[in-house]
Protein backbone atom coordinates (compact mmCIF):
# COMPACT_ATOMS: atom_id res chain seq x y z
CA UNK A 1 0.00 0.00 0.00
CA UNK A 2 1.29 3.44 -0.96
CA UNK A 3 1.22 6.05 1.80
CA UNK A 4 1.44 9.85 1.69
CA UNK A 5 2.55 11.68 4.85
CA UNK A 6 1.07 15.12 5.53
CA UNK A 7 2.34 17.16 8.47
CA UNK A 8 3.59 20.73 8.84
CA UNK A 9 6.42 19.59 11.15
CA UNK A 10 9.43 18.08 9.39
CA UNK A 11 10.45 16.01 12.43
CA UNK A 12 6.99 14.44 12.59
CA UNK A 13 7.20 13.55 8.89
CA UNK A 14 10.66 12.02 9.36
CA UNK A 15 9.48 9.96 12.32
CA UNK A 16 6.48 8.56 10.42
CA UNK A 17 8.62 7.85 7.38
CA UNK A 18 11.10 5.91 9.51
CA UNK A 19 8.35 3.78 11.07
CA UNK A 20 6.78 3.14 7.68
CA UNK A 21 10.08 1.84 6.37
CA UNK A 22 9.97 -0.84 9.07
CA UNK A 23 6.42 -1.98 8.24
CA UNK A 24 6.19 -4.52 5.41
CA UNK A 25 3.52 -3.86 2.81
CA UNK A 26 3.46 -0.08 3.26
CA UNK A 27 5.64 2.37 1.28
CA UNK A 28 5.97 6.13 1.68
CA UNK A 29 5.57 7.66 -1.78
CA UNK A 30 5.71 11.31 -0.77
CA UNK A 31 5.27 14.05 1.80
CA UNK A 32 3.35 17.30 2.10
CA UNK A 33 3.71 20.08 4.64
CA UNK A 34 0.30 21.77 4.30
CA UNK A 35 -3.26 21.14 3.15
CA UNK A 36 -3.00 22.59 -0.33
CA UNK A 37 0.19 20.69 -1.03
CA UNK A 38 -1.52 17.53 0.25
CA UNK A 39 -4.34 17.86 -2.28
CA UNK A 40 -1.83 18.40 -5.08
CA UNK A 41 0.24 15.37 -4.05
CA UNK A 42 -2.84 13.19 -3.73
CA UNK A 43 -3.95 14.17 -7.24
CA UNK A 44 -0.48 13.48 -8.66
CA UNK A 45 0.49 10.34 -6.73
CA UNK A 46 -2.89 8.71 -6.04
CA UNK A 47 -1.87 7.16 -2.68
CA UNK A 48 -3.86 4.37 -1.06
CA UNK A 49 -3.57 5.89 2.42
CA UNK A 50 -2.87 9.41 3.72
CA UNK A 51 -1.44 10.02 7.18
CA UNK A 52 -2.99 13.44 7.70
CA UNK A 53 -2.16 15.91 10.46
CA UNK A 54 -5.22 17.84 11.63
CA UNK A 55 -3.86 21.15 12.93
CA UNK A 56 -1.88 22.86 10.16
CA UNK A 57 -1.57 26.50 9.07
CA UNK A 58 -4.05 27.48 6.37
CA UNK A 59 -6.12 24.53 5.22
CA UNK A 60 -6.26 22.05 8.10
CA UNK A 61 -6.60 18.28 7.89
CA UNK A 62 -10.37 18.30 8.37
CA UNK A 63 -10.77 20.56 5.35
CA UNK A 64 -8.49 18.34 3.29
CA UNK A 65 -10.54 15.25 4.20
CA UNK A 66 -13.77 17.02 3.29
CA UNK A 67 -12.41 17.99 -0.13
CA UNK A 68 -11.18 14.43 -0.75
CA UNK A 69 -14.68 13.08 -0.19
CA UNK A 70 -15.97 15.44 -2.88
CA UNK A 71 -13.34 14.65 -5.53
CA UNK A 72 -14.09 11.59 -7.65
CA UNK A 73 -10.49 10.54 -8.29
CA UNK A 74 -9.66 10.74 -4.55
CA UNK A 75 -12.63 8.86 -3.08
CA UNK A 76 -10.68 5.61 -2.85
CA UNK A 77 -8.01 7.27 -0.71
CA UNK A 78 -8.16 6.22 2.95
CA UNK A 79 -7.38 8.81 5.63
CA UNK A 80 -5.75 8.27 9.01
CA UNK A 81 -5.70 11.45 11.09
CA UNK A 82 -2.64 12.17 13.23
CA UNK A 83 -2.79 14.86 15.89
CA UNK A 84 -1.51 15.87 19.29
CA UNK A 85 -4.99 17.04 20.27
CA UNK A 86 -7.52 14.46 21.50
CA UNK A 87 -10.43 16.92 21.29
CA UNK A 88 -10.58 16.34 17.52
CA UNK A 89 -11.59 12.70 17.97
CA UNK A 90 -15.33 13.30 17.53
CA UNK A 91 -14.87 15.33 14.35
CA UNK A 92 -12.52 12.71 12.98
CA UNK A 93 -14.93 9.84 13.53
CA UNK A 94 -17.87 11.82 12.17
CA UNK A 95 -15.84 12.48 9.01
CA UNK A 96 -15.62 8.66 8.67
CA UNK A 97 -11.83 8.60 8.67
CA UNK A 98 -10.26 5.14 8.57
CA UNK A 99 -8.23 5.85 11.70
CA UNK A 100 -7.20 8.37 14.35
CA UNK A 101 -3.76 8.44 16.01
CA UNK A 102 -2.71 10.70 18.87
CA UNK A 103 0.90 11.89 18.78
CA UNK A 104 3.47 10.75 19.61
CA UNK A 105 2.55 7.85 17.35
CA UNK A 106 4.22 4.52 18.08
CA UNK A 107 4.94 1.84 15.50
CA UNK A 108 2.46 -0.73 16.80
CA UNK A 109 -0.49 1.69 16.78
CA UNK A 110 0.56 2.90 13.35
CA UNK A 111 0.69 -0.68 12.06
CA UNK A 112 -2.80 -1.45 13.38
CA UNK A 113 -4.25 1.74 11.90
CA UNK A 114 -2.66 1.09 8.51
CA UNK A 115 -3.87 -2.50 8.41
CA UNK A 116 -7.38 -1.40 9.31
CA UNK A 117 -7.32 1.28 6.61
CA UNK A 118 -6.13 -1.28 4.08
CA UNK A 119 -9.29 -3.28 4.71
CA UNK A 120 -11.58 -0.31 4.06
CA UNK A 121 -12.91 -0.32 0.51
CA UNK A 122 -13.00 3.45 0.03
CA UNK A 123 -13.13 6.84 1.72
CA UNK A 124 -16.69 7.47 0.54
CA UNK A 125 -18.95 8.71 3.27
CA UNK A 126 -21.47 6.11 4.42
CA UNK A 127 -25.11 6.99 5.01
CA UNK A 128 -24.67 7.18 8.76
CA UNK A 129 -22.13 7.62 11.54
CA UNK A 130 -20.16 4.65 12.78
CA UNK A 131 -20.16 5.91 16.38
CA UNK A 132 -22.63 7.62 18.68
CA UNK A 133 -21.28 10.43 20.84
CA UNK A 134 -22.37 10.85 24.44
CA UNK A 135 -21.47 13.48 27.01
CA UNK A 136 -20.09 11.97 30.20
CA UNK A 137 -18.86 14.17 33.03
CA UNK A 138 -17.61 16.89 30.74
CA UNK A 139 -15.98 14.64 28.15
CA UNK A 140 -17.22 12.99 24.99
CA UNK A 141 -17.48 9.22 24.79
CA UNK A 142 -17.61 7.55 21.39
CA UNK A 143 -19.66 4.35 21.36
CA UNK A 144 -19.26 2.14 18.26
CA UNK A 145 -22.56 1.17 16.63
CA UNK A 146 -21.64 -2.50 16.94
CA UNK A 147 -21.73 -2.12 20.75
CA UNK A 148 -25.18 -0.47 20.85
CA UNK A 149 -28.08 -2.65 22.00
CA UNK A 150 -31.03 -0.44 23.00
CA UNK A 151 -31.95 3.24 22.58
CA UNK A 152 -34.60 4.25 25.09
CA UNK A 153 -36.35 7.64 25.27
CA UNK A 154 -37.57 8.96 28.60
CA UNK A 155 -38.26 12.52 29.62
CA UNK A 156 -36.04 14.82 27.52
CA UNK A 157 -33.19 12.40 26.90
CA UNK A 158 -32.33 9.18 25.11
CA UNK A 159 -30.51 6.55 27.15
CA UNK A 160 -28.09 4.41 25.18
CA UNK A 161 -27.60 0.87 26.52
CA UNK A 162 -24.41 -0.66 25.18
CA UNK A 163 -21.85 -3.33 26.01
CA UNK A 164 -19.92 -0.86 28.17
CA UNK A 165 -22.88 0.38 30.22
CA UNK A 166 -25.29 3.28 29.82
CA UNK A 167 -24.85 6.74 28.28
CA UNK A 168 -27.04 9.77 27.69
CA UNK A 169 -27.46 11.13 24.16
CA UNK A 170 -28.59 14.56 22.98
CA UNK A 171 -30.11 13.09 19.79
CA UNK A 172 -33.87 12.53 19.61
CA UNK A 173 -35.16 8.99 19.15
CA UNK A 174 -36.86 10.03 15.91
CA UNK A 175 -33.64 11.42 14.45
CA UNK A 176 -31.77 8.26 15.42
CA UNK A 177 -34.45 6.09 13.82
CA UNK A 178 -34.21 8.03 10.54
CA UNK A 179 -30.41 8.05 10.46
CA UNK A 180 -29.98 4.39 11.36
CA UNK A 181 -32.91 2.94 9.46
CA UNK A 182 -32.34 -0.80 9.07
CA UNK A 183 -29.79 -0.91 11.90
CA UNK A 184 -32.06 -0.14 14.84
CA UNK A 185 -35.70 -1.22 14.78
CA UNK A 186 -38.52 0.57 16.58
CA UNK A 187 -40.27 -1.81 18.97
CA UNK A 188 -42.18 0.81 20.94
CA UNK A 189 -42.81 4.53 20.72
CA UNK A 190 -39.96 5.01 23.22
CA UNK A 191 -37.49 2.31 22.16
CA UNK A 192 -35.20 1.27 19.30
CA UNK A 193 -33.40 -2.08 19.41
CA UNK A 194 -30.51 -3.74 17.58
CA UNK A 195 -32.43 -6.86 16.49
CA UNK A 196 -29.41 -9.14 15.82
CA UNK A 197 -28.71 -9.01 19.56
CA UNK A 198 -32.24 -9.97 20.65
CA UNK A 199 -32.14 -13.43 22.22
CA UNK A 200 -35.80 -13.88 23.08
CA UNK A 201 -39.21 -12.48 23.99
CA UNK A 202 -41.25 -12.93 27.17
CA UNK A 203 -44.30 -11.47 28.88
CA UNK A 204 -44.02 -9.27 31.94
CA UNK A 205 -46.45 -9.10 34.89
CA UNK A 206 -48.68 -6.70 32.97
CA UNK A 207 -48.98 -9.16 30.09
CA UNK A 208 -46.84 -7.04 27.76
CA UNK A 209 -44.23 -8.56 25.50
CA UNK A 210 -40.68 -7.52 26.28
CA UNK A 211 -37.40 -8.36 24.58
CA UNK A 212 -34.37 -10.07 26.03
CA UNK A 213 -31.29 -8.35 24.66
CA UNK A 214 -27.71 -9.59 24.87
CA UNK A 215 -25.26 -7.74 27.16
CA UNK A 216 -27.83 -5.41 28.80
CA UNK A 217 -30.32 -5.80 31.65
CA UNK A 218 -32.99 -3.50 30.24
CA UNK A 219 -35.95 -5.33 28.65
CA UNK A 220 -37.68 -3.01 26.18
CA UNK A 221 -41.45 -3.46 25.92
CA UNK A 222 -42.88 -4.26 22.48
CA UNK A 223 -46.03 -2.33 21.57
CA UNK A 224 -49.09 -4.39 20.63
CA UNK A 225 -49.17 -2.73 17.23
CA UNK A 226 -45.61 -3.84 16.43
CA UNK A 227 -45.57 -7.24 18.17
CA UNK A 228 -46.51 -9.29 15.09
CA UNK A 229 -43.82 -7.65 12.95
CA UNK A 230 -41.17 -8.07 15.63
CA UNK A 231 -42.03 -11.76 15.97
CA UNK A 232 -41.60 -12.18 12.21
CA UNK A 233 -38.19 -10.53 12.38
CA UNK A 234 -37.13 -12.83 15.19
CA UNK A 235 -38.16 -15.94 13.26
CA UNK A 236 -35.92 -14.85 10.37
CA UNK A 237 -32.88 -14.30 12.59
Query: In this predicted structure, what is the pLDDT of residue 112?
Result: 87
Sign (positive or negative) of CA dihedral 226, 227, 228, 232: positive
In terms of Cα–Cα distance, which of 125, 126, 96, 116 is closest to 1?
A: 116
* Whether the predicted pLDDT of 154 surpasses 80: yes
User: How much is the pLDDT for 138?
Assistant: 60
Count other C-beta atoms under 10 Å from residue 82's C-beta: 24
- CA distance linking residue 153 with residue 155, whole number of Å: 7
Q: Which residues pair with 5 in a beta bridge?
A: 31, 51
* Digit-coded pLDDT (tens) for 96-144: 567 778 888 999 989 988 987 887 544 444 456 778 888 766 667 788 8
Ordered by start, the domain boundaries in the chain are 2-119, 133-236
Determine the distance from the C-alpha atom of residue 86 to the mean position of all C-alpha atoms in its chain, rounded to a whole number.
15
Q: Compute the distance between CA of residue 66 and CA of residue 95 in angstroms, rounded to an integer.
A: 8
Return the higher-pLDDT residue of 191 and 119.
191
CA–CA distance, 21 with 142 (Å, rounded to integer): 32
> SS3 helix, strand, coil % of the chain, rounded to 5?
35, 30, 30
Mean pLDDT (the chain) is 85
- Homologous superfamily in CATH for domain 2-119: Response regulator (3.40.50.2300)
Report pLDDT for 125. Answer: 43
Same fold yes or no, 2-119 and 133-236: no
Distance CA 237, CA 230 (A): 11
Average pLDDT over residues 38-67: 89
Contact between 191 and 153 (Cβ < 8 Å):
yes
Are the CB atoms for 161 and 216 separated by under 8 Å? yes
Q: Is the pLDDT of residue 78 over 90?
A: no
* Choice between 58 and 76, residue whose per-residue pLDDT is larger: 58
Spatial separation of the C-alpha atoms in residues 30 and 15, rounded to whole Å: 14
Question: 133-236 falls under which CATH superfamily?
Answer: LytTr DNA-binding domain (2.40.50.1020)
pTM score, two decimals? 0.52
Amino acid sequence: MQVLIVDDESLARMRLQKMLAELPGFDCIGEASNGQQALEKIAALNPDIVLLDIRMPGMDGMEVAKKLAEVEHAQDCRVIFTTAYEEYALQAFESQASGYLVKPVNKEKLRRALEQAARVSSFQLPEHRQHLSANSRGKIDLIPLKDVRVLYAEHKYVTLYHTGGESILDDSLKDLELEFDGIFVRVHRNALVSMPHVSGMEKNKEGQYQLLVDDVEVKPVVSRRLATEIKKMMRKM
